[in-house]
Structure 1
Amino acid sequence: MGPINTNEKGTGTSERFSSSKGFILAAIGSAVGLGNMWKFPYITGENGGAAFFLLFIACLVAVGLPVLLAELSIGRAGRGSAASSFVKAGGGRIWGKLGFISVIAPFLIMTFYILVAGWTLHYAVLSFSGQMTAGVDFDAQFVKFTGSYLPLVWAFVAMAIVALVVIKGISGGIEKFNKILIPGMLVLLVILMIRSITLPGAMEGVNFFLAPDFSKLTPEAGLVALGHAFFSLSLGMGTMITYGAFVDRNQSLGSATLAVGVGDLIYAFIAGLIIFPTTFAFGIDPSSGPGLVFVALPAAFSAMPLGWLFGGLFFVLLAIAALTSLVSLLQVPVTHAMEKWNWSRNNAVWIISLLIFLVSIPSALSMGLMKINIGERNFFDYVDFFASNWLLPIGGLIVTLFAGYFWKTAAKEAGLTTKWFRIWLFMLRYVAPILMIFVFLHSTGILKFE
């Protein structure tokens, strides 16, 4: 493929991934985000370890992969944005309006995700410089940082990196970026896993993670596992529909779906073998919530030999996971703007990136400098809650209903044999929608377990 003309207008989906490997690595980069390293460990810790991980695998296979295949198929059939692909694939105009939810969702997600990406970059620098492990009150260190203007500085850096990648186009930017960073991420995962499982007392954490205790599983744990399986594959946020629009017709979407699912599972598994041995080795509660990464683990790194090095590598790993996901998120509204308003890629990337950064400011300020609350949540938590618990489940439900009931050429685009197509259609029609409605009701607090 020749060089990308970033000033060319109206060609939001005229580019293509140059290779199957590049597409799959980009899709894995989108799926493998902070959730598997930040959220997965503490929800696993809260729900009994290995039993929850096995439940997560079952949910990923039963619901996550069918919906992932549907999103990729809709994108390739429509060759449009996350909104227009529904219409171009054969749906009515109403589907385009419903699909616009999957354009709004990644925009909102990025407004707080760039902040967290900035935190990882900041902590990587702190660790490599020895400053992170110099103090003793790690909670106060994190509160002081998030309560200053520094998070905005680091968010700007993260946003700039992502914009510079996306502005280079699909094959010249996103594909090359992931071809370098995803293998690099795997190397870091293995290095940190070896360090973690060789710590004194680490085997207790390994046993917690790998020895299932099914007595601790509850209906609520099932919905949590299902929700995480869904969100860990970047479903419902338009990224996979958008990436599907740039896939060559010769690419097997079924094999790509399996590859992305396996990549996501491997990452989650190794993440568990990093987090749990480390937390148990240093007496840290693995169910200590989101603060596990930015408060509890820095304390652990400060107590181990060469902690500044391993801490730095850990936060570089988190930064890579965040940036590869952000790249896919930004491409969604960029594709929409190029197609809908005939913007050049340059203009679409810079205008949308600036808007994302500006909208992120209230979330950053609400962490300490200025109390910006909506109800019982600060602005940061509210945007996260609204995007993750409302927009994403609705976006995913729209995909399942369209592919399961209204899309006449689904079998042709998915490229499945008759047997597998029937199984896929059954999951999309009768299993995924019902379970996703339960996830939505639970995540929004409508459905509660006593």
Structure 2
Amino acid sequence: MKEQHPSGLSEGGGEQSKERFSSYGFILAAIGSAVGLGNMWKFPYITGLYGGAAFFLLFTICLLLVGLPVLLAELAVGRGGRGNPSTSLIRLSGSKLWGRLGFITILGPFVILSFYAVVAGWTMHYAVLSFTGKLFESGDYTGLFTNFIGSWLPVFWQFIVMLLTGFIIMLGVSAGIERFNKILIPGLVILLLVLVVRALTLEGAGEGVAFFLRPDFSKLTAESALVALGHAFFSLSLGMGAMITYGAYVDKRQSLGGATLAIGLGDLLYAFLAGLIIFPTTFVFDLEASQGPGLVFVALPAAFSAMPLGAFFGGLFFVLLAFAALTSAVSLLEVPVAFVREVLGWSRPFAVVLVSAACFLIGVPSALSLGGDGSGLNFGGKSLFDWVDFICSNIVLPLSGLIITLFVGYAWKGAAEEAGLTVWWFRVWMFMIRFVAPVLVLLVFLYSAGLISF
């Protein structure tokens, strides 16, 4: 008989606790969760705005000093609790109050996926348009994008994304999530390198590379520090429950410290390569790197149309984005699926079907709010899509991260044993988790929510 905790949850965590990643598969899956669409349009914008290489250096420091300690905390909670974020907190603390707080980290990724799948669908649609040559027929890239997001086609592609994501999750941890990432992450690296070579060999690319790699420390401010910290935090998928859930599938023999470092370096490398693609391309074709989605779906197609084999390289670019989006979507869906499997006792296939369907239906209004039949779903100057994005990114995720840092720093007594660090490194880690990370995450939360400014 399994030992029972005060919460009534068993030590083993049920059938879910039997699922395991291999060491290599876990690191690839975690890197897949970390890399995403944001590094292709948000990272170039904030890097250019806040000093190029100076900001990239600041981002790296924030990732190493704050992002990695919080990442290790989430992985340790997941492996220690052997469950989803909510039940892991209950098992490790014996208090249902922490479980209720942990539920925020389950609701967040569910809602995020509802609109993230919409954007992932855009990338798939544009990959098809590029490879078929239809993307470059009219030359009116603004009109093409506006007409597309104003139609029902985004809902179709959103459905395809959820179907693919659900299928992967349904296969399980090793046969689904791990195998999928073992295929897509190497593919992602190959696509990145091909596109980097293409960008660097464009005539005049050196100016863009110089802008990216030449530091301008005069642009570094308190605001840029918070932006760098926020991007480091979110680029590692922290506060989303994904790393806690993945941590539940990690073998006890796996070094969490080594895995944390590998994941951080993988995320950093992806951001760096993304910069080597975007900046040379934007400089050569005189584009603004601060356009967000407009850069990817309007400006860059115009650039691809002007280069040799543009349809081919444009197609590769959007396939790259689709790969990055899918690896993140898989980790987001696994969080609520793991929760309902544990709490409600559902089988994996049944949980996947129900959760995927609910996520798709909730995301349809967001998909339609950008135009077309859903054009009325706008209030306060933002579309429903933008509001959901704002609330999740600027309120839910920082709050979730704050909960985990406070739990590990002050409530959980077994953190040292689970993290597996030497005495000196454990003291450094605990200092960051107790005194540094909560303060900085709170500042990011207040700044992102518009409650403080500089």
Query: What TM-score bracket applies, with the shorter chain setting the length?
Result: over 0.9
Q: Deviations over 1:27-62 (max 9, x none)?
A: 000001111122111121222211111111011001
Which one of 309, 313, 318 corresponds to residue 310 of structure 1? 313
Tell me which residue corresponds to 1:67.
70
Asked if 1:444 corresponds to 2:430, the answer is no
Tell me which residue corresponds to 1:144.
147
Aligned identity (percent) is 63
Structure-2 change in CA distance of 1:91 and 1:433 (3 Å): farther
Deviations 1:301-357 (A, max 9, x none): 011000000000000000000000000100000000000000010110000000011
Question: Which segment drifts farther, 248-257 or 85-94?
Answer: 85-94
Amino acid at match of 2:194: I
Q: Which of 417, 423, 431 in structure 2 is aligned with 1:426?
A: 431
Task: Summarize deviations over 1:237-261 as a string: whole Å, max 9, x none.
Answer: 1000000001000000000000000
1:16 aligns with 2:27: no
Deviates more, 1:408-417 or 1:287-296: 287-296
Matched residues in 1 for 2:91 and 2:110: separation? 23
Contact 1:42 1:292 in 2 (8 A): no
Amino acid at match of 1:346: P
Q: Is 1:160 paired with 2:163?
A: yes
Residue range with higher mean Cα deviation, 394-403 or 34-43: 34-43
Answering whether residue 415 of structure 2 is matched by residue 416 of structure 1, we say no
C-alpha displacement of 1:289: 3.0
The residue aligned with 2:3 is: none
Structure 2 counterpart of 1:53, from 44, 51, 56: 56
Q: What secondary structure does 1:259 align onto?
A: helix
- Letter of the structure 2 residue corresponding to residue 65 of structure 1: L
Alignment RMSD, CA only? Answer: 1.1
Q: Shift of residue 375 of structure 1?
A: 2.2
Distance across 2 between alignment mates of 1:138 and 1:42? 20
Equivalent residue pairs, number: 440
| 1: CA distance, partners of 2:210 / 2:249 | 43
Would you say the 8 A contact 1:91–1:406 is kept in 2? no
Instruction: Please state how far the C-alpha of 1:128 moved relative to its aligned partner.
Output: 0.3
Give the Cα separation in 2 of the matches to 1:53 and 1:93. 41
2:351 aligns to what?
348
> How far did 1:376 drift?
2.2
Aligned to 2:7: none
Q: Secondary structure at the match of 1:89?
A: helix
Per the alignment, residue 377 of structure 1 pairs with 382
Report the CA distance between 1:364 and its aligned residue.
1.0
Q: TM-score, normalised by structure 1?
A: 0.96
401, 405, 409: which one pairs with 1:404? 409
Task: State which of 83, 88, 91 in structure 2 corresponds to 1:88.
Answer: 91
CA contact (8 A) 2:89 2:102 kept: yes
Pairwise mapping of residues 222-233 of structure 1 onto structure 2 (< 5 A)?
222-233=225-236
Distance in structure 1 (CA, Å) of the matches to 2:334 and 2:16: 9
Q: d(CA) in 1 for partners of 2:15 and 2:381? A: 44
Contact map agreement 1:41 1:275 (CA 8 A) in 2: yes
The SS at the match of 2:433 is: helix
Q: What stretches of structure 1 of length at least 5 have no aligned partner?
A: 1-8
**Does the aligned pair in 2 maintain the 1:52–1:217 contact within 8 Å?**
yes
Which one is further off, 116-125 or 130-139?
Answer: 130-139
- CA apart distance, 1:10: 5.5
What secondary structure is seen at the aligned counterpart in 2 of 1:300?
Answer: helix
Residues 365-398 of structure 1 show CA distances to partners (whole Å, capped at 9, x for unaligned) of 1110222024221100001011111110000000
Cα distance in 2, alignment partners of residues 135 and 223 from structure 1:
42
How far is the alpha carbon of 1:91 from its aligned partner? 4.6
Q: Cα distance, 1:406 vs. partner?
A: 1.2
In the aligned structure 2, how far is the partner of 1:133 from the partner of 1:261? 37
Q: Which of the numbers 356, 363, 385 marks the counterpart of 1:360?
A: 363
Partners of 1:13 and 1:167 in 2: CA distance: 16
- Counterpart for residue 393 of structure 1: 398
Q: Distance in 2 between matches of 1:390 and 1:249?
A: 33
Where do 4+ consecutive residues of structure 1 move more than 6 Å? none
